[in-house]
């Protein structure tokens, strides 16, 4: 008869998530969802004709019912597409959510106010977080010719609330980028207007408070003046990450310095995809971009790292080889900053340009047995173990070492990752990671978290790594993996660290970590590990 009380007490003891601060964003692992394409509330396997660009029936209630599926991969934050009321068109639907009318109203295609509240509460009960996509740059319209601001646009009901129509003719002219329309169906808000600014501030405050949102992802940041964003983020009162669609770190870095402390790492994104899209991809270019990001950004540990999203063809549709895709998909989870995985990556979805990269996930049956689902679960667990065993992990800069034209070692103690673009047809090969690159002590047992193969460093601290069928390798010290680590007993080098107190605009800290005590293997553990080496599980 005491069972109900015990269950209630257990529920009360579950960690309840609270809104995220900017620095806490580093800890998170994010799963990106397009609400309309993730889960239907009725759980029917209804078809979704991508080419028609119509609503397919995904809702907030559908997401709520599949949180276990997301959490099962180890993700703790769910980024959902914009929630606000969108324009209704004849030739297509604004199912993506980026063409708002009245921002103060919700999109009924996705559910009710209570449904969104329920989703937020359900996430928090699981110790998870809600990130909502928001747009402050533009609204949606049927066309430029028929656009007439009125009550349907809420507070933005006057022509003075919008920039005059123009299309950018020079994308290097920042004024054109910020004040012209992105499309004739996307009227550009006049964010120089005090009325527009006040209204946007009121909206974001209300949205965050009403639905207990923990973080926001901000769309089209580069299309609004830089000095608009600090106050907008402050009014939101939660962590924010901005989208600046540009590949040049020289262009991107000032946004982190002046506008939003966290932004999406598009600088690395393009080079990451090129490095792994085929067996001729340039590993050297990726390594060089890592160096430039470290050099130019105020805080590389606050960038959002990703491989796929809803705006670009999926890498699995470009690369002919699943081994290449797996290697590339590892990178965001072992990189600096926080990883973002786009829904469907776990199923190897291979959609091309928009709208074909916006597949209905329910058609996968939410299969939890795929290789990539298991890989993301293992990588998220390894990342959590690294953070728990070595708190400076989050503020320690990744070191990228090119081993040859096809491979690189990524050192972010206590993680060591070895990625290649050999492809699955490569004969078994062996790579050697020297002591200066492993970050490990000599004779240290390590485990590949993806295969559970046990290896050990040599007497100098180097590591010989077999590569089978071009698969990625991600190592943790065995003691860390088994939650046995004390201090930094595995640490063999002094990593470069970013000061955790750094904020945008204050530059990088250079405080080194102090290596821990010398590693001591107990005879029983050493005997057990070395006896396994000859019988280790193959990738």
What residues contact 280, with CB distance under 8 A and at least 6 apart? none
Q: Is 137 annotated as a binding residue?
A: yes
What residues contact 394, with CB distance under 8 A and at least 6 apart? 26, 27, 301, 387, 500
Residue 60 CA from chain centroid, whole number: 20
Q: pLDDT of 392-439, one tens digit each?
A: 999 999 999 999 999 999 999 999 999 999 999 999 999 999 999 999
Judge whether residue 538 has pLDDT over 90.
no
Cα–Cα–Cα angle for 517, 521, 526, rounded to 5 degrees: 160
User: Rounded to whole angstroms, how far apart are CA atoms 426 and 247?
Assistant: 31
List of E strands, 14-86: 30-33, 77-80
User: Rounded to whole angstroms, how far apart are CA atoms 304 and 287?
Assistant: 18
Q: Is 217 annotated as a binding residue?
A: yes
User: Which of 160-164, 502-506, 532-536: highest mean pLDDT?
Assistant: 160-164
Q: Is 473 annotated as a binding residue?
A: no
Judge whether residue 485 has pLDDT over 60.
no
Q: Is 65 annotated as a binding residue?
A: no
Q: Is 535 annotated as a binding residue?
A: no
The one catalytic residue among 76, 115, 214, 219: 219
Question: For the chain, what percent of residues have pLDDT higher than 90?
Answer: 85
What SS3 state is found at 387? helix
219 is catalytic: yes
Q: pLDDT of 488-514, one tens digit each?
A: 565 665 555 554 323 222 233 322 222
**Per-residue pLDDT, 523:** 30
Dihedral sign for Cα 283, 286, 290, 291, please.
Answer: positive
Judge whether residue 525 has pLDDT over 90.
no
Q: pLDDT of 4-21, one tens digit each?
A: 444 344 444 444 557 899
Structure tokens at 270: 């393009």
42 is catalytic: no
Judge whether residue 305 has pLDDT over 70.
yes
User: Rounded to whole angstroms, how far apart are CA atoms 46 and 102?
Assistant: 30
Question: For the chain, what percent of residues have pLDDT higher than 70?
Answer: 86
**Per-residue pLDDT, 384:** 97
The one catalytic residue among 243, 336, 346, 359: 243
- For residues 348-354, average pLDDT: 98
- When pLDDT is cut at 50, 70 and 90, the band that residue 320 belongs to is confident
**Per-residue pLDDT, 503:** 28
Domains along the sequence of the chain with CATH: 399-535 (2.60.40.1180)
Q: Which helix (H) or strand (E) element contains residue 350?
A: none
Judge whether residue 344 has pLDDT over 80.
yes
Q: Which of 48-57, 100-109, 180-189, 499-508 has the lowest mean pLDDT?
A: 499-508
């Amino acid at each position: 008869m005491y069972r109900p009380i015990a269950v209630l007490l257990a529920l009360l003891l579950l960690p309840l998530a609270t809104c995220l601060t900017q620095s806490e964003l580093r800890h998170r692992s994010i799963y990106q969802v397009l609400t309309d394409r993730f889960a239907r509330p009725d759980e029917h396997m209804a078809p979704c004709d991508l080419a028609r660009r119509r609503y397919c029936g995904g809702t907030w209630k559908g997401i709520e019912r599949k949180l276990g599926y997301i959490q099962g991969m180890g993700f703790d934050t769910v980024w959902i597409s914009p929630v606000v009321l969108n324009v209704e068109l004849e030739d297509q639907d604004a199912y993506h959510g980026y063409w708002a009318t009245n921002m103060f109203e919700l999109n009924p295609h996705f559910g009710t106010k209570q449904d969104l509240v329920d989703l937020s509460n359900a996430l928090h009960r699981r110790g998870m977080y809600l990130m909502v996509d928001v747009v402050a740059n533009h609204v949606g319209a049927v066309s430029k010719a028929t656009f007439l601001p009125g009550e349907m646009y809420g507070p933005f009901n006057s022509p003075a609330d919008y920039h005059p129509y123009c299309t950018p003719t020079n994308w290097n002219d920042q004024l054109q980028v910020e004040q012209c329309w992105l499309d004739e169906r996307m009227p550009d808000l006049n964010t120089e207007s005090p009325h527009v600014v006040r209204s946007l501030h009121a909206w974001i405050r209300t949205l965050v408070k009403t639905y207990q949102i923990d973080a926001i992802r901000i769309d089209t940041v580069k299309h609004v003046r830089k000095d608009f964003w600090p106050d907008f983020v402050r009014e939101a009162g939660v962590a924010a990450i901005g989208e600046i669609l540009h590949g040049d770190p020289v262009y991107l870095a000032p946004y982190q310095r002046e506008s939003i402390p966290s932004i999406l790492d598009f600088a690395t994104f393009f080079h990451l995809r090129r490095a792994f899209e085929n067996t001729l991809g340039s590993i050297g270019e990726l390594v060089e971009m890592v160096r430039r990001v470290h050099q130019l950004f105020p805080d590389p540990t606050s960038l959002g790292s990703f491989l796929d999203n809803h705006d670009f063809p999926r890498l699995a549709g470009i690369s002919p080889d699943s081994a290449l895709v797996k290697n590339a998909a590892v990178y965001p989870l072992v990189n600096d900053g926080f990883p973002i995985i786009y829904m469907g990556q776990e199923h190897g979805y291979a959609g091309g340009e928009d709208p074909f990269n916006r597949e209905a996930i329910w058609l996968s049956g939410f299969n939890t047995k795929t290789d990539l689902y298991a890989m993301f679960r293992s990588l998220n667990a390894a990342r959590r173990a690294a953070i728990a065993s070595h708190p400076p992990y989050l503020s320690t800069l990744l070191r990228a070492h090119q081993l040859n034209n096809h491979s690189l070692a990524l050192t972010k103690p206590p993680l060591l990752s070895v990625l290649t673009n050999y492809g699955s047809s490569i004969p078994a090969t062996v790579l050697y990671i020297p002591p200066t690159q492993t970050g490990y002590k000599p004779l240290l047992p390590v485990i590949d978290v993806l295969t559970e193969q046990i290896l050990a460093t040599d007497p100098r601290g180097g590591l010989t790594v077999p590569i089978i069928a071009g698969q990625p390798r991600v190592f943790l010290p065995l003691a860390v993996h088994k939650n046995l680590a004390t201090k930094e007993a595995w640490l063999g080098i002094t990593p470069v660290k970013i000061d955790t107190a750094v904020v945008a605009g204050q530059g990088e800290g250079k405080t080194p970590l102090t290596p821990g005590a010398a590693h001591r293997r107990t005879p029983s553990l050493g005997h057990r590990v070395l006896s396994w080496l000859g019988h280790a599980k193959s990738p």
